[in-house]
Amino acid sequence: MSLSPRKRRNNTPGGSSALLRLRTQLLIAALLIICAFTGAILFIVRQTVQSQIHRQVKDVTDVSISAFKSVQNQNELQLSRTTAMLAEVPLLKSLMTAQDAPTIQDGSEPWWKLAGSDLFVLAGPEGHVLAFDVKRSGWTKADAERHLIGSLSRGEESSWWYGNGQLYWVAMRPITAGTGSNRRDLGSIAVGYQVDSALVGELPLVAGSRIALAVGNSIVASTLPAAEAAAFERQAAQYPISDNRTSQMILDGAEYEVASVLIHPVSPTPVDCYVLTSLDRWNRFVATLNRIILVLGISVVFLAALLLSFVSRTITRPLENLVAGVRALAAGDYTYSIAPRGSTEVAELSKAFSKMRSDLLTSQQRWITAERIAALGRAASSISHDLRHYLAAVVANAEFLYEAEKLKLNRDEIYEEIKTASDQMTDLLDSLRELAREDSALSPESASLDQILRRAADTVLMRPDCRSRAVSIVAHGDMQGVFDPRKIERAFVNLILNSCEATAHWHGQVRVDAASHAESFEIRIADNGPGIPETIRDTLFDPFVSAGKPNGTGLGLAIVSKIVHDHNGSVTVEESSDRGTVFLVRLPRSMRSLPARIQSSVG
């Protein structure tokens, strides 16, 4: 009765590990695909969010710049109106007709207070300053005159004036008297306000934004804290930010998105406006998003692993039966049944395997039949050859015996030749009968192994062709055991004889070492012959295998193998080289180690 795959799974120890590897490979491959797919999706989500953040930061920057420009335009418009109004006041024109600097300087203070500006300048027709008033120290009349002459030469009505770390937005108007052809140029008036951090701080900026105004590499006004303003000035000098571009900076531990707009490109006072938007809020949001993505990714992979583990078992379970069937077939079990289960492809594969197994069984039976016929042919050929050889010797010696008196031959020697040939034929027939028996006819009894070895050696040395060999026997430990002494002796006779025949007769040496263990014996038979040919090492214990022996039948070692295996032991070639060969025989010590059928025969 064939066992089901589930019951016989333990008979294929490699099946579970192979399916485990397949299941692991399937799980790893699926997890890699899921990880890659999930990672790609999460990466796209993260990049999309970051892109959205950059767009929002840019929008905030644009709003801040627009707010600054709007306030600046309003201030410029108001200042221009104030300047234009003062340039038309008759009293001021009357004051300018004096063209006397001390007089105009003394009379300018009320008009300066009326303008409410930080800078007030009255100049003559050539641009020479006649009156100069400023709220903060640091500027001189010469500085104002230099800037005024430059602006008038460029035809500007308003301009940025910078000097000594101070920046002013200035509106200018000519002061004239009369009309038409009577019109006379009395000079010009310049009114300005200082652009400083207090003024910039009043701008309606978006929350988290900062403003910095710079002339060249110098910050003249900003809403940044002092430490961050100093850090920004250093970085802006090393890594200039181009117009209408954005960049990121870390200022005293705070990260900003920086945008630059050139609000006054005219030399010598090009003014840049930097809008800095804090990224702290966005960075906290991105950090939170990263944690969410990480937790989500780990959760997806974990759940996918659980799901794939279940799915992989479902997929590989039908393959498990198929692998078990393949391994059983490889071990020679042609009765292992496989029930087609699983997907259509696996079921078709199982059916194909069952058909292949049936075909292999039929083919093997045919091959066994052919081998039996071939083996019988080889056996018949070998036996007929040996029997003809021995019969020829018997017939020839019988004729010599008949003609002994006439030919004056020694009848005893002829008789011995006939007896030897008869004994050899008997041994050949006994060997064939021994090999043909399927059941072991053993008669176990207590005996000493070393005495059996010595009797076997004496039997071999009594042969005429082995008398020149040297056979030594060494035994270690208790040699008393339970086995069939007669058959064990015959096995060792064949082994020692095989070793003697393999050595050169004038210096052949055979050594027998027997070692006793708790449950077994180990016997090594070593010779100093040329070694076993490579061509027969794998089939050395098969019947009719022999090499280098003119009278060998190839049955000696086959009989040794059968007797030893009948005793539940083993015989192997432990070593073979051009220095000699060592046979190793392992035998159980007591009847408890023998097969059950032999113990029952003893009982």
577 within domain boundaries: yes
pLDDT in tens, 505-516: 667 889 999 999
Q: Is residue 584 part of a domain?
A: yes
Which range has highest mean pLDDT (96-110, 277-291, 357-371, 404-418)? Answer: 96-110
| Range in 186-190, 427-431, 491-495 the model is least confident about | 427-431
Task: Check residues 136 and 19 and name the one with the higher pLDDT.
Answer: 136
**CATH number, domain containing residue 496:** 3.30.565.10
This model's pTM is above 0.95 = no
Statement: residue 307 has pLDDT above 50: yes
Q: Which residues pair with 251 in a beta bridge?
A: 254
Q: Specify if 549 maps to a domain.
A: yes
- Domain assignment present for residue 376? The answer is no
DSSP of 575-594, one letter per residue? EEETTEEEEEEEEESSGGGS
**pLDDT band, very low/low/confident/very high, at 22 (cuts 50, 70, 90):** low
Q: What percent of the chain has pLDDT over 90?
A: 12
* Rounded Cα–Cα distance for residues 81 and 512 (Å): 131
**Token code pair at residue 535:** 């061509």
- Please tell me the predicted confidence (pLDDT) of residue 9: 41
Kindly indicate the confidence band of residue 437, based on its pLDDT and cuts at 50, 70 and 90.
Answer: low
Contact between 332 and 364 under an 8 Å Cβ cutoff? The reply is: no
- What's the rounded Cα separation, in Å, for the pair 313 and 308? 8
Least confident segment among 15-24, 127-136, 450-459: 15-24
- SS3 state of residue 117: coil
Which carries the bigger pLDDT value, residue 403 or residue 162? 162
Q: Is residue 589 part of a domain?
A: yes
Alpha-helix runs per DSSP H in 403-448: 404-407, 411-436
Place of tokens 């030469």: 153
Q: Is the pLDDT of residue 64 over 80?
A: no
Output 10 or 450, whichever has higher pLDDT: 450
Residue 157 pLDDT level (bands cut at 50, 70, 90): confident
Q: Is the pLDDT of residue 595 over 50?
A: no
Lowest mean pLDDT among 48-57, 506-515, 559-568: 48-57
Is there a domain that residue 192 lies in? no
* pLDDT of residue 325 exceeding 90: no
Average pLDDT over residues 167-180: 87
Q: What is the dihedral of CA 355, 357, 363, 365, to 10 degrees?
A: -120
- Quote the pLDDT of residue 171: 92
pLDDT, residue 122, reads 92
Amino acid letter at 85?
M
Segment holding 111, helix H or strand E: helix 101-115
Among 139-153, 401-415, 533-547, which range has the highest average pLDDT? Answer: 139-153
Determine, yes or no, domain membership for 499: yes
Mean pLDDT of the chain: 77
Q: Is 470 domain-assigned?
A: yes
- Give residue for tokens 């038979």: 525
288 burial level (CB within 10 Å; 0-12, 13-18, 19+):
exposed
Asked whether the predicted pLDDT for residue 598 surpasses 60, the reply is: no
> Has residue 190 got a pLDDT over 90?
yes
> Could you give the C-alpha distances from 59 to 55, 254, 347, in angstroms and in order?
6, 20, 64
- The whole-number average pLDDT for the span 531-551 is 70
Residue 216, pLDDT > 70, answer: yes
Q: Please count the structural domains in the chain.
A: 1
Question: C-alpha distances in angstroms, 397 versus 451, 491, 552?
Answer: 37, 31, 22
Q: How confident is the model at residue 12 (pLDDT cuts 50, 70, 90)?
A: very low
Q: Which domain holds residue 551?
A: 437-602
Residue 572 burial (10 A CB sphere; 0-12, 13-18, 19+):
middle
